Structure 1
Amino acid sequence: MRAALRRPDLRLALIGRTVSMFGDQALWLAMGIWVRQLTGSNGAAGLVFFFYGVPSLLAPLSGLLVDRVRRRPLLVCTEGLLGVAVLSLLFVRGAGQVWLIYAVTFVYGCAGTITASARSALFRTLLPDDDELASINGLMQTAQEGLRLVAPIVGAGIYSWAGGPAVAILDAATFAVVVTTFSLLKVTEPAPHPRTSHWRAEVGAGVQHLWRVVTLRQMTMAVGVALLVVGFGETLVFAVTTDGLHRAASFVGVLLTAQGVGAIGGGLTAARAMRRFGEARTVACGLALFAIGVAGLLVANLWPVLVGIAVAGAGVPWLIVALFTALQRLTPNELQGRTFSAVDVLVTTPQTISIGVGAGLVSVVDYRVLVAIMVVVIAACAGWLITRSASSAQPPPAVSRPIAGDDSAHAVV
C-alpha cells in the first residue's frame, strides 16, 4: 500500500474522497435537526432521510450512465453541480422553505447513486493491482468509520453555533475541494463501450454479470439475506438501552461510539483478512463477527453489550470491503457501474425493508426475541457462505485494463 500512496494521482483521489465523506456526514445530521427545529415535527425530520433514500431506486440507470461515459469527468461535473445545489439552502428562512431542504436532499441522493459507482470504477482503474486495491479499500472504509464519529458532531456543533446556512457553506466548500482534486487527476480511462442492445437489456447487464460470476452471486445472496434482519438493529439499539440496560435513550450515543471504534478496527484489518482468507470467506467471517457481537445484546449488562456491539461493528467493514473489492476485481471495466449499482440495490433494499419491519415488531415482540432472530439468520448466512468452495476458487474474468498514468493507453482525460 505504501507504494500506491506514493503516487500523486492516488493521493489526490483519496484526499477528494475523504473530504467528500466529511462534508456529507457533517451535513446529514444538521439537516435533520434543521427541519426538526423549523417544523417541530420528528416525522418531518425523518423525511430528510426518506428523500435521500428514494433515489436509490434509480441506481440501475445511474450505473448505465457511469458505464457510458468517462468516470473522472462525470465525477467532476456531478460533484460541482451538487455543490451549487447545496448553496440553495442559503435561501431557507423558515418552515415555508422546508421543501427546499427536501429537494436538496433528493438531489443529493440522486447524485450519490452516480458518484458511488463512478468512484468504484475509477479506483479500479487507478489500482489495477489486486492487493493494492484491497488495501486502499480498507483504508477508505477506516476513514469513513472514523469520520462517522467526528463529522456529525462537527456539523451539529456548527449548526448550533451559526445555523443551517453555515453548514451548507461548509459542505459546498468540501465539494469545491473534491472538484479540484479530481480535476487535477491524471488517469487514463478506456473509451466507453457503445450501446449494443436495447436500453432495458443494457440496464440489466450488471445483474446478469452478477448472476454469472458465482463468487459475486453467492456473496451478494448471503449479505442480502442477512440484511433482511440487520435493519432490526436500528430500532433495537434503543430497546436494548432503555429496556435492557435501563439507561436513558441518550445513552445510545455511547453504544454507537463503541460500534464505531470496532468498525475502525475492522477497516484496518480488512485487507489482511482478505489476503489470508480470500474475499468470500472474509465476507463470511464478517457476518459471523456481526452475529457473535449481536448475541452480546441478549445480556442485560453493560460490558457484554459494549463488547458485543464493538465486535459487531468490526465485522461490518470486513464484509463491505471484501464484497466490493471482489466486485471491482471480477467485473470488466465496461460493466463496473452497472454491477456496482446492482449489488447496491440488492443489499440496501433488504436493509431498508428490515428497518421498517423492525420498527413495527419491536412494539409487540420482546426485543430479545428479535435479537435472537438476528443472530440465527446472520450466523446461518455466514455458515452457508463459508462452505461454498466455489466462492474462493473462481478466477477473475480476463479483462484488459489500462495502467493508471500510462499515456500510451487511450487518451488522458
Structure 2
Amino acid sequence: MRQVLRRADFRLLFCGLIASMAAESILVLALAIWVKDITGSSGQAGMIIFAVVAPMLLAPLVGWFVDRFRRRPFLVGANLAVAAALIPLFAVRERADAWIIYVVAVLYGLSYLAVSAALAGLVKVVVPDELLAEANGALQTVRQGLRLGGPIAGAALYTAVGGWTVAAVTIAGFVLSALAIAVIRVREDAPEPSAPHWLREAGAGLRHVAAHPVLRRVTTGMVVSIFMLGFNETLVFAYVDQGLHRQPGFVGVLSAVQGVGGLLGGALAAPLIRRLGEVRAVALGMLALTPASLSFVVPHLWLSVPGMVFFGCGLSVTVVSFHTLLQRATPAAMMGRVAAGVDALISGPSAVAIAAGAGLVSVLDYRVLFVGTGAALLASGWSVWRSRLPGPVHREVTGDGQPAVAAPHS
C-alpha cells in the first residue's frame, strides 16, 4: 500500500475519494432519518434505501454513457453534479416536502453508479498494472473504516444540528473531491466515437464478461456468493432476536465488528493477490465467508464475533481481488460498461435474496437457513478455487477489446 501512495497522482485521487466517501457514508442513513422525522413513518424511511438502489436497473446505459468521456473530467463533473443535486434539500421543512428527499436519493443512487464505473477506469489509467491490487486495497480499507463511523456520525450530526447541516457537509465533501481530482495530471486517450447501435454498445460490458473464460467463471461465483449473502442480511435480525435475545439495534454492533474485519481484509488483499493471483484470492475471500454463516448456527457471541471478523475480512479480499481482475482483464475503453454491468448483475440478485430471506425466515428456522447459505458459499468458493486458471491475469484482452486468454502463472 505504501508503494502506491508514493505516487503523487494516486495520492490526489485517494484524498479526493476520502472526501467523497466520507460524504457518502453519512448521507444515506441521515436521509432515512430525515424522512422518518418529518413523516413519522418507518416504511417511508426504509423506501430511501430503495430509491438509492433503484437506478441500478439502468446500469448498462450508465456504463455506456460513462465510456463516452475521459474519466478524470467525468469524475470532476459527476462530483459537482452530486453536490448540486443535494442543494434542494435546503427546501425541506415539513411532511409535504418528503418527495424532495426521495428525488435527491434517486439522483444520488444514479450518480453513485456512474462514479463507481468511472473510478474503475480512472484507477486503471492512473496506476500501473502491478499496483492495481494495492490501489484497490487502499480504497477498500478507507471504505471499511468509514463504514465503522460514517453512519453513526451522520445520524449524530442530523440529531444535533438537523438535515440542512448534513446537506451542507456532504456538499462540501463532494466539492472537495472534485477539486482534488481536477488537479490530477493524467493522460487519457480520447474515447471511441459512439456507434449507431448504442443499445448494443450498452450491453458490450456483459458480453465481454461472458466471452472471457476467467471473468465468466469468477463473476458466476460472485453472483452466487453475493446472492447467498443477501439472505444473511435478513437472517441476522432473526439471529439477534431469537438466538441472542437482544434488541434489533445490536445488529449495529455486529456490523461494526464486520467493519474491523473489513479493514484487515483491505490490508491483506494485495499481498494475497501477489502470492495467489486474482482468481484464487477471490476464491479464498469467498471461502472465508463460510465461517461467518456457520457461526450463527449456534447462538453465542464467542462464535459470532470471530465469524463476523472472518466475514468482513473475506468480503474485502473478495471485492478487491475481483475489481483488480476486472481492471486487468478489460480494455480501458470498456471499463465503464463492464464495471456498471457487473454491479447490476451482482446487486440485482442480492436484492431479490434479501426479500426472499424475509419470507423464508418466517417459515423456516433461521439456523437451517444459515447452514444452507454456508454450504452454498463453500461450494461457490471451492468452484472458483478449482478453476484451471488460478494465476494472475495480465493483458487478457487484445487491442480491439476481444478476449485473448494468456497463460496465467501460479
Indicate the TM-score class for this superposition, using the shorter chain for normalisation. over 0.9
Q: How does 1:60-99 map to 2 (within 5 A)?
A: 60-99=60-99
Distance 2:184 2:111 in 1: 20
Q: In structure 1, what is the equivalent of residue 24 of structure 2?
A: 24
Distance 1:394 1:116 in 2: 22
Give structure 1 stretches of 5+ with no counterpart: 401-413
1:143 Cα deviation after fit: 0.6
Q: Give the superposition deviation at 1:243.
A: 0.8
The amino acid of 1:343's aligned partner reads: V
Secondary structure at the aligned position of 2:364 is classed as coil
From the superposition, tell whether residues 394 and 158 of structure 1 become closer, same or farther in structure 2 (CA, over 3 Å): closer
Aligned to 2:317, the other structure's residue is in SS state helix
Matches within 5 A, 1:80-119: 80-119=80-119
Secondary structure at the counterpart of residue 389 of structure 2? helix
Q: For this pair of structures, how many residues does the alignment match?
A: 400
Q: How does 1:10-409 map to 2 (within 5 A)?
A: 10-128=10-128, 130-392=129-391, 395-397=394-396
Deviation at 1:228, TM superposition (A): 2.1
Deviation at 1:392, TM superposition (A): 3.0
Indicate the residue corresponding to 1:411 in structure 2. Answer: none
Tell me how far 1:7 sits from its aligned partner: 2.4
Q: Do the aligned residues in 2 keep the contact of 1:215 with 1:392 (CA within 8 Å)? A: no
Contact persistence 2:328–2:393 (CA under 8 A): no
- Aligned-residue Cα RMSD (Å) equals 1.5
Letter in 2 for 1:64: W
Residue segments in structure 2 that go unaligned for 5+ positions in a row: 400-410
What percentage of aligned pairs have identical amino acids?
39
Q: Which amino acid aligns with 2:381?
A: A
Distance 1:169 1:267, change over 3 A: same
CA shift for structure 1 position 395: 4.5
User: Alpha carbons of 1:110 and 1:393: their partners in 2 closer, same or farther (altered >3 Å)?
Assistant: closer
The Cα of 1:394 is off from its aligned counterpart by: 5.7
Pair 1:35–1:252, CA change in 2 (3 A): same
Cα distance between partner residues in 2 of 1:125 and 1:399 = 17
1:194-227 Cα distance to aligned partner (Å, 9 max, x none):
1245112111111111112111111100010122
- Worse-matched range after superposition: 245-254 or 26-35: 245-254
Cα gap change, 1:41 to 1:352, in 2 (>3 Å): same
Deviations 1:308-332 (A, max 9, x none): 1111111001111111110001101
1-side partners of 2:39 and 2:394: how far apart?
55
TM-score, L = length of structure 1: 0.94
Q: Deviations over 1:69-121 (max 9, x none)?
A: 11111111111111011121011001110000000000001111111100110
Task: Tell me which amino acid in the other structure corresponds to 1:355.
Answer: I
The alpha-carbon deviation at position 396 of structure 1 amounts to: 2.6
Alignment partner, residue 5 of structure 2: 5
- CA–CA separation in structure 1 for the residues paired with 2:349 and 2:81: 31
Report the alpha carbon displacement of residue 397 of structure 1 after superposing the two structures with TM: 2.8
Distance, in Å, in 2 between the alignment partners of 1:394 and 1:308 is: 31
Equivalent-residue separation in structure 2 for 1:123 and 1:13 (angstroms): 9
With over 3 angstroms needed to count, the CA separation of the structure-2 counterparts of 1:378 and 1:116, relative to structure 1, is: same
Letter in 1 for 2:59: A
Contact (CA 8 Å) 1:224, 1:350: kept in 2 or not?
yes
Q: Please tell me whether the aligned partners of residues 54 and 109 of structure 2 are also in contact (alpha carbons under 8 angstroms).
A: yes
The 3 A distance-change label for structure 1 pair 186 and 242 is same
Q: How big is the shift at 1:391?
A: 4.6
The answer to whether the Cα contact below 8 Å between 1:214 and 1:391 also exists between their aligned partners in 2 is: no
Distance in 2, Cα, partners of 1:398 & 1:98 = 48
CA contact 2:26–2:154 (8 Å) conserved in 1: yes
Q: State how far apart, in whole Å, the 1-side matches of 2:86 and 2:358 are.
A: 31
Structure 2 counterpart of 1:110, which letter? L
CA contact (8 A) 1:279 1:323 kept: yes
Confirm or deny: 8 A CA contact 1:70 1:192 kept in the other structure: yes
How big is each residue's C-alpha offset from its partner over 1:323-344, in whole Å with a ceiling of 9 and x where there is no partner? 1110001101111111111111
SS of residue paired to 2:67: helix
Residues 279 and 392 in structure 2, CA contact (< 8 A), matched pair in contact too: no
Greater displacement, 189-198 / 379-388: 189-198
Q: Distance in 1 between matches of 2:248 and 2:392?
A: 47
Report if the CA contact (8 A) 1:210-1:216 is conserved.
Answer: yes
Distance 1:394 1:139, change over 3 A: closer
**Greater mean alpha carbon deviation, residues 196-205 or residues 17-26:** 196-205
Contact 1:215–1:391 (CA<8 Å) still a contact in 2? no
Task: Answer yes or no: is the 8 Å Cα contact 2:86–2:104 preserved in 1.
Answer: yes
Deviation sequence 1:271-322 (CA, Å, 0-9, x none)? 1111111111111111110012211111121110111111111100111111
SS in 2 for 1:321: helix
